[in-house]
Amino acid sequence: MVRGGVRIIYSRLGERADDVIKRIISQERREWIVVSSDREIMHHAWSVGAVPVPSPVFYGIVERQVKRRGVPADSPEEEGGADGSLFRAADDSEDEEGPGARKGNPHQLSKKEKAVRKVLGKL
């Protein structure tokens, strides 16, 4: 089914929507933009070359577009964290010190964040 230029796909009875998403992005090799905050879906998307966009970030983009067109939106939400990070939920569990500490320039975006910003520019 297509509505407003968006193809809507339903899962079958007894089939998980997550499995449908994984199957589609794995089989159809394209430049997919996957909107999900589910860590498992995001990890799978990266592994097959798709770019996952966290749901709150996507919502913020849609909200700004709605405001530009003069239609009232629900509530304002920020894009990313206070430090500009798009993946704050996934990075919260990591310690800043110890053997797994991040290295490199803290002011430079990660490869994943650069990829997300690139696809967000297309929306």
What confidence score (pLDDT) does residue 83 get? 45
Residue range 74-102, pLDDT digits in tens: 544 444 444 445 554 444 444 455 566 66
DSSP assignment of 14-55, as one string? T--HHHHHHHHHHHS-S--EEE---HHHHHHHHHTT-EEE-H
pTM of the full predicted structure?
0.60
What confidence score (pLDDT) does residue 94 get? 46
| Residue spans of the chain under pLDDT 50 | 73, 75-84, 88-95
